[in-house]
A = this chain, B = another copy of it.
């Protein structure tokens, strides 16, 4: 099996990706990279490491991007801001400009140094917050840009691209990991693992998807 590098935050989506990669290629071919970029829920880095170690994947790398806060502003990296969606704004104030581009670019540079050309990321454009860098058009363009930048053939895998949150929970269940992902991952903007605060946009999306999936199964 070819090795793959998963962009892994310790949240629901990327943990589902991690388990999908493990199921398809074996833990010994799965590498993960996590970013510490000043996010308010930095506990996710700790949880990501715990999951990576428990699953005995091939490698786990944390990259700290300490200049992010210095060049852009958003409610995800500024705990003094109230998370919300201003009327008329294209997306919630938790949008981090260029984040998925930075994650994919950095992951690709790191992957190439390890001879890895498959990269997986848990972005999706259904049931998400309208972030432009979660759309397929962006992911495909980024893939081409990476190949041109480094003169090689990366393949970006985005298995959740067109899945609703309910479908992502269904995938977790098929992988036998629904309870694990439900209890061990962190998606909440307030930094509360598992079911989270229940009030932030991220918790609401996650809970609504879970309810929809569990209802469909009942």
In the assembled complex, A86 has its CB within 8 A of some CB on chain B: no
Majority-rule SS of A interface residues = helix
Chain B hits for A63, CB < 8 A: 67, 70-71
Mark A residues whose CB is within 8 Å of B.
61, 63-67, 70-73, 90, 97-98, 100-102, 105-106, 108-110, 112-113, 132-133, 135, 137-138, 141-142, 144-146, 148-151
Given contacts A64-B67, A98-B105, A133-B148, 6 further A-B contacts (CB under 8 A): A63-B71, A90-B151, A102-B106, A105-B105, A133-B150, A142-B148
A64–B105 CA distance with the chains assembled, in angstroms = 17
CB-based closest 7 A-B pairs: A132-B151, A71-B110, A138-B148, A98-B109, A101-B149, A145-B145, A141-B145
Q: Are B113 and A71 in contact (CB under 8 A)?
A: yes
Chain B hits for A66, CB < 8 A: 66
Chain B hits for A90, CB < 8 A: 151
Chain B hits for A149, CB < 8 A: 98, 100-101, 132-133, 138, 142
Q: Are A98 and B108 in contact (CB under 8 A)?
A: yes
